[in-house]
Amino acid sequence: MKPLKPLSTKPCFLLMFIAVIFLTSCEKKDKPHTHLSDRSLIPVPAQVHEMDGTFEISKNTILYTDGNKELDKVAQQFINDFKGLGNLELKTASLAEGIDNGIVFKLSQQIDTEEGYTLKVTDHQIQLEAKNPEGIFRGSQTILQLLPAKQTEGWLVPAVEIEDFPQYAYRGAMLDVARHFFSVNDVKRYIDLMAAYKFNVLHLHLTDDQGWRIEIKSWPKLTEIGGSTEVGGEKGGFYTQEEYQDIVKYAAEKYITIIPEIDMPGHTNAALASYPELNCNGKATELYTGTEVGFSSFCTDKEITYKFIDDVIKELVALTPGPYIHIGGDESHSTELEDYIPFVNRVQDIVYKYGKTPIGWDEIRHAKLKNTSVVQFWANKENALAAVQQGAKVLMSPASKAYVDMKYDSITPLGLSWAGIINVKTAYNWDPATLVDGIGKPEIVGIEAPLWTETLSKIEDVEYMAYPRLLGYAEIGWSQDSLRYWDSYKKRLSMQYQYLKQKNINFYESKLIPWYKATVDSTAHKH
Ligand code: TNX
- DSSP bridge partners of 259: 203
Per-residue pLDDT of the chain (527 residues; tens, 9 = 90+): 444 444 444 454 555 555 544 444 444 456 788 899 999 999 999 999 999 999 999 989 999 998 899 999 999 999 999 999 888 999 999 998 778 789 999 999 999 999 999 999 999 999 999 999 999 999 999 999 999 988 777 899 999 999 999 999 999 999 999 999 999 999 999 999 999 999 999 999 999 999 999 999 999 999 999 999 999 999 999 999 999 999 999 999 999 999 999 999 999 999 999 999 999 999 999 999 999 999 999 999 999 999 999 999 999 999 999 999 999 999 999 999 999 999 999 999 999 999 999 999 999 999 999 999 999 999 999 999 999 999 999 999 999 999 999 999 999 999 999 999 999 999 999 999 999 999 999 999 999 999 999 999 999 999 999 999 999 999 999 999 999 999 999 999 999 999 999 999 999 999 999 999 986 664 444 43
Question: Atom 2 of ligand 1 has which residue's CA nearest to it?
Answer: 378
**DSSP conformational letter for 30:** I
Contact 142, 120 (CB under 8 A): no
Give φ, ψ of 182 to 5 degrees.
Answer: -125, 140
443 annotated active-site: no
Alpha-carbon span 340 to 330, nearest angstrom: 11
Distance 224 CA to ligand 1 centre (A): 25
Distance 61 CA to ligand 1 centre (A): 49
Query: How far is CA 302 from each of CA 21, 217, 282, 346, rounded to the nearest angstrom?
Result: 90, 22, 10, 13
Contact 387, 365 (CB under 8 A): yes
Question: Atom 6 of ligand 1 has which residue's CA nearest to it?
Answer: 452
Which of these is catalytic: 129, 331, 448, 454?
331
Q: Is the dihedral of CA 197, 202, 203, 209 positive or negative?
A: positive
Alpha-carbon span 89 to 140, nearest angstrom: 16
Alpha-carbon span 327 to 347, nearest angstrom: 8
Q: Which residues line ligand 1 (CB under 6 A)?
A: 293, 330-331, 361, 378, 403, 405, 416, 452, 454
Q: Whole-prediction pTM value?
A: 0.93
Q: Is the dihedral of CA 469, 475, 477, 480 positive or negative?
A: negative
Mutate to test the pocket of ligand 1, among 330, 362, 414 (most ligand atoms within 8 A of CB): 330
Alpha-carbon span 148 to 141, nearest angstrom: 13
Q: What is the CA radius of gyration of the chain?
A: 27
- Which residue from 280, 276, 258, 298 is spatially nearest to 219, judged by alpha carbons? 276
